[in-house]
Chains A and B, each alone.
Chain A
Amino acid sequence: MNPSLFSPEGLSGLLFLVMIALTVAGALLATNARRLIRAVAGLALCFVGVAGIYYFLNSPFLALMQILIYVGAVCITFVFAVMLAEPEEMQRVNKRNALVGPLSILVSGVMVWGLVALAAMTSWQKSPVRLNDGSLEKLGESLLGRYSMSFEMISIVLLVAIIGSLVLARAGRTK
């Protein structure tokens, strides 16, 4: 099977390639940018690409949540922190060993190669039964049924995180 470029399957394949390109470009920008605010923009770009990949994994709800929470909330919080802490990246001298850059590329390259080789060599076993179709309705049922304990736990974690970050950011302020 080899869909032509202008059939619906071919266009969706092209869109998938665009999403992969967005993810890769965003990750490269987030790790290599000299200015911190550009790294935050790269992170937002990368998360938009990841949301598109979630859409291709048959989960539009997760794609919307990814854009809403990561791009809309987490990246904006990063921007606020960059503005509050205003790092002077330009006039910083490079104090580290010259070997760190090539070694970090080597180490992460070996990690990626190992993971990809492991994924390619394993013969993945498909589960013989499918309990449901993974739709949003089933997702809500199992979130409030079988996984309700984890659901409550994560809400407690978020509440503690809100209070803790308020306490931490407030300490040391005079007024």
Chain B
Amino acid sequence: MDILTLSSNLNTYLTIGAFLFGMGVYGLVQHQTFIGMLISAELVLAGASVNFMAFGHFLAPDPTVGQIFALFIIGLAAAEAAIALSIIIAVYRNYRSIDVEDVAELKG
């Protein structure tokens, strides 16, 4: 398989999607602030929508389904980011910190 014809191969897109998902999971553990974890969650969502777009383009009988699913993922991710950021700002106002270790009031 030639490296310049990668874009016509389904497995290329599935590998990109899996890589984005894995980087998102790694970042969720690695980041120590709420905003960093939210950024990693966006990476996971991007990996999922790359997979949907690839299956919709290569395999599905109706190629619009993958695009519609990716559009809905974009809309839901925007709503999620807006709500999560306002929660983070409310947390910052109460704790003066967005570090995940500092918000541990209920820890036994």
Report the separation of the CA atoms of residues A64 and B76 in the bound assembly, to the nearest whole angstrom. Answer: 17
The answer, yes or no, to whether A175 is at the interface (CB within 8 Å) is: no
Contact of B27 among A30, A77, A82 (CB under 8 A): A30
Report the separation of the CA atoms of residues A132 and B66 in the bound assembly, to the nearest whole angstrom. Answer: 13
> Secondary structure at chain A's binding surface: helix, strand, loop or mixed?
helix
- A168 touching B83, Cβ below 8 Å: yes
The answer, yes or no, to whether B60 is at the interface (CB within 8 Å) is: yes
Ranked nearest first, the 8 interchain pairs of A and B with the lowest CB-CB distance are A134-B63, A13-B4, A31-B27, A161-B79, A112-B22, A115-B18, A104-B29, A119-B14
Report the separation of the CA atoms of residues A134 and B60 in the bound assembly, to the nearest whole angstrom. Answer: 10
Contact with B along A98-142 (1 / 0, CB 8 A): 001101110111011001100110001111111111100011001
Chain A residues with CB under 8 A of B60: 127
Chain B residues with CB under 8 A of A119: 10-11, 14-15, 18
Closest B residue to A103 using CB positions = B29
- Total interface residues on B, CB under 8 Å, equals 79
Contact of A27 among B23, B70, B83 (CB under 8 A): B23
- A157 touching B68, Cβ below 8 Å: no
Known: A78-B39, A116-B15, A168-B87. A108 touches B22 (CB 8 A): yes
8 contacts between A and B (CB under 8 A): A1-B5, A40-B39, A54-B50, A57-B54, A58-B63, A65-B71, A74-B42, A119-B18
Known: A9-B4, A77-B81, A116-B15. A104 touches B26 (CB 8 A): yes
Closest A residue to B45 using CB positions = A70
Closest B residue to A58 using CB positions = B57
- B13 touching A57, Cβ below 8 Å: yes
Known: A20-B16, A132-B62, A162-B82. A69 touches B2 (CB 8 A): no
- A124 touching B58, Cβ below 8 Å: yes
Of listed A31, A96, A125, residue having the most chain B CB within 10 A: A31
A54 vs chain B, min Cβ distance (A)? 6
The answer, yes or no, to whether B103 is at the interface (CB within 8 Å) is: no
Chain B residues with CB under 8 A of A53: 13, 16, 50, 53
